[in-house]
Amino acid sequence: MKVFISGFGTVGQGTMETLIVKAMDIERITGDKVIITGVTDSKSYAVKDDGVCNFSVLGSKSMSGKVGPDMKDGKSTVDIMKMVDFDTLIEASPTNVETGGEGLVNIKWALENGKNVITVNKGPLALEFQELMSLAKEKGCILKFEGSVGGAMPIINLCNDALAGQKIKSIQGIFNGTCNFILSRMDSGLPFDQALKEAQQLGYAETDPTNDVEGYDSASKVVILANSVFGINAKFKDVNVTGITSITSEAISLAKEHGMVIRLIGEVSKNKLEVSPRLIPKGHPLSISGSLNTALINTDLAGPVTVSGRGAGRKETASAILSDLIAIMLAQKKE
């Protein structure tokens, strides 16, 4: 299986490292090897039909910030993808929920040209989920996206495979670790601004935290779940979104007095797509503290099923990409 990695930040590098470490396991499970034939970041690229040297690419990125000596110089990722042969695109470039950004262009080009796609980039899915799935079906390709919701928390495969046949009535979850970290720190008495600053210092929050604290990141995940689990043709604009910026210290204290905490909850059901701060009783599965992601899946047969995991991180997100890649390799082996 020849692979092209678009985006070589934390997730892209973590994916390459994971593919090196897990090479023997992948071959044992699938009977095939993974060869990375192309890598791009925002400025540079490396391509080779019989496989780039993974260690050189990682070393170069670490030393110079570039994946290799070749600079993009105005070339798009699509231009680079055209230079080399590959079967599956791993799309890990930065998310843009307004336009889909370059990620959307890359995914469309890959599918139109018969390539499978694994994306952890939420923007394209939040904007054009059904269109991309239809395109993949039309071209006989596989589009997988487990890492786009909850990082290492295996919610999509859990709902669609392990819980197959059951009616999923609703999913309520903490889908943004940054907001949960901030609200958890506010539980300890910090005001919002200070909790946000701490999250930024620890690397949980971006310099511009809008996407997280206004609930847009969670809303993208709600859209992906609505489409992939509930079959609703939902778009980002269909989600009713309220972030956490208006939460006061008084609100946190008042909730605490009543044995509750405030958490940013994404909710998906047939008639509700929402991201909003909610009052959660202490001890409830959604009352967790820290940066973890958690989802409560309400089913007709199994009742409530809770799944939890690290929502982001180098190895954590790479684990979701690895499971998608193995699923594609096994599916193609059967054909």
Q: Which residues bind other proteins (CB under 8 A)?
A: 172, 242, 246-248, 250-251, 254-255, 258, 260, 262, 265, 276-281, 284, 286
75 is catalytic: no
Show the tokens assigned to 97: 């929920």
- What value does the CA radius of gyration of the chain take, rounded to a whole number of Å? 20
Query: Contact 108/137 with Cβ under 8 angstroms?
Result: no
Helix residue ranges per DSSP H, the chain: 10-21, 23-30, 54-64, 77-81, 101-112, 122-139, 155-157, 177-187, 192-201, 210-213, 216-228, 249-257, 314-334
Report the half-sphere exposure of 147 (CA within 13 A, side-chain side).
29
Q: Taken in order 92, 94, 98, 103, is the CA torsion positive or negative?
A: negative
Rounded to a whole number of angstroms, the minimum distance from the CB of residue 281 to other proteins is 8
Q: Name residue 181's amino acid.
A: F
Q: Which is nearer to other proteins, 203 or 259 (CB)?
A: 259
Rounded to a whole number of angstroms, the minimum distance from the CB of residue 213 to other proteins is 13
Q: Which is nearer to other proteins, 151 or 277 (CB)?
A: 277
Q: Which is nearer to other proteins, 43 or 258 (CB)?
A: 258
Give the Cβ contact number of residue 52 at 10 Å: 22
CA distance 204 to 200: 6
Q: Taken in order 13, 14, 15, 17, is the CA torsion positive or negative?
A: positive
CA distance 209 to 37: 34
Catalytic residue among 33, 82, 221, 270: 221
Q: Which is nearer to other proteins, 137 or 258 (CB)?
A: 258
Rounded to a whole number of angstroms, the minimum distance from the CB of residue 223 to other proteins is 20
Rounded to a whole number of angstroms, the minimum distance from the CB of residue 254 to other proteins is 5
Rounded to a whole number of angstroms, the minimum distance from the CB of residue 147 to other proteins is 26
Q: Which is nearer to other proteins, 233 or 306 (CB)?
A: 306
Report the half-sphere exposure of 165 (CA within 13 A, side-chain side).
3
CA distance 45 to 93: 13
Q: Which is nearer to other proteins, 137 or 237 (CB)?
A: 237
Rounded to a whole number of angstroms, the minimum distance from the CB of residue 209 to other proteins is 18
CA distance 238 to 234: 6
Q: Which is nearer to other proteins, 142 or 279 (CB)?
A: 279
Rounded to a whole number of angstroms, the minimum distance from the CB of residue 155 to other proteins is 17
CA distance 240 to 229: 19
Q: DSSP letter at 70?
A: E
Residue 49's contacts (CB-CB under 8 Å, 6 or more residues apart) are: 37, 84, 85
Catalytic residue positions, numbered: 221
